[in-house]
Amino acid sequence: MTVQGDRRKFRREGADQRKEALVRATLGLIAEEGVRGATVRAIAERAEVTQGLIRHYFSTKEDLVLAAYTQHMDALTEQTFAKAEGATPRARLAALVVASVTPPVADAGSVALWAGFLTQVRQDARMQEVHARSYHGFRDRLEALIAEVLAQDGRAADSRDCRPLAIACNAVIDGLWLEGGALPDAFQEGELAAIAVQSVGAILGMNLTGTEAQE
């Protein structure tokens, strides 16, 4: 004769699915409510489990946040480069630039997420590592693409020349990404994309406008 209170029914799930659900819940909460809103209880509720389960999969909340940060940054880079398609290197670069300042990569939630994590990046060595890896990962791929574009034009394309260009292009992209996400109403539809393509073209000394649609 069991007491049979109104104890909650549940299904057992694989560790990976549960972890991912918890990570998703964490990201959603930080994006919408800020780091402050991402409490253990709120995360559990959004993932439709009870709070104790979090401890079963992540030995501490810090670990969960680290996992969430890693996934978010990886997804951001991947999402951006996935759209960098085209016949010519120049077209791929233009497409990449446009994708960087256009939803879903550039939106208020992504920026809020990024900013929310930055605080913890300064205090947690593991977070710092993910941050550095993510930044360099993006920039190195950007530098490689820039090198391709320059080579196509018969211009010097070794790293000494390309590195500062990549840093500069990355900065414009980041700046516009940030401002678009933090102040969405300050710009017209497509305005940021046009400015981004124009500016990256200027920095590289070539005309990139229109190339994202070519071929």
Partner DNA sequence: CGCGTAATTATACGCTTGCATAATTAACCT
Partner DNA sequence: AGGTTAATTATGCAAGCGTATAATTACGCG
Interface positions with DNA (CB under 7 A): 2-13, 15, 18, 38-42, 49-56, 60-62
Nearer to a second copy (CB atom), residue 49 or residue 142: 142
Of residues 154-193, which lie at the interface with a second copy (CB under 8 A)?
164, 167-168, 170-176, 178-179, 182-183, 186-187, 191-192
Residue from 16, 123, 158, 189 touching a second copy (CB under 8 A): that is 123
Give the nearest distance from C-beta 61 to DNA in angstroms: 3
Rounded to whole angstroms, how far apart are CA atoms 160 and 157?
8
Instruction: Using alpha carbons, select from 99, 104, 73 the residue that is nearest to residue 84.
Output: 99
Residue by residue, DSSP assigns 142-191 as: HHHHHHHHHHHTT---SHHHHHHHHHHHHHHHHHHHHHHHH-GGGS-TTH
Give the nearest distance from C-beta 107 to a second copy in angstroms: 12
The encoded tokens of residue 138 equal 């993006």
Q: Determine, following the binding rule CB under 8 A, whether residue 210 of this chain makes contact with a second copy.
A: no
Query: Which CA distances in Å does 19 have to 6, 28, 38?
Result: 26, 14, 16
Kindly report the CA angle at 171 between 146 and 96, in degrees rounded to 5?
A: 45
Of DNA, a second copy, none, which one sits near residue 144, judging by CB under 5 to 8 A according to partner kind? none
DSSP state, 1?
-
Sole window of 5-13, 39-47, 68-76, 107-115 interacting with a second copy (rule: CB under 8 A): 107-115
Site residues (vs a second copy, CB under 8 A):
33-36, 108, 111-112, 115-116, 118-123, 131-132, 135-136, 164, 167-168, 170-176, 178-179, 182-183, 186-187, 191-192, 194-196, 198-199, 202-203, 205
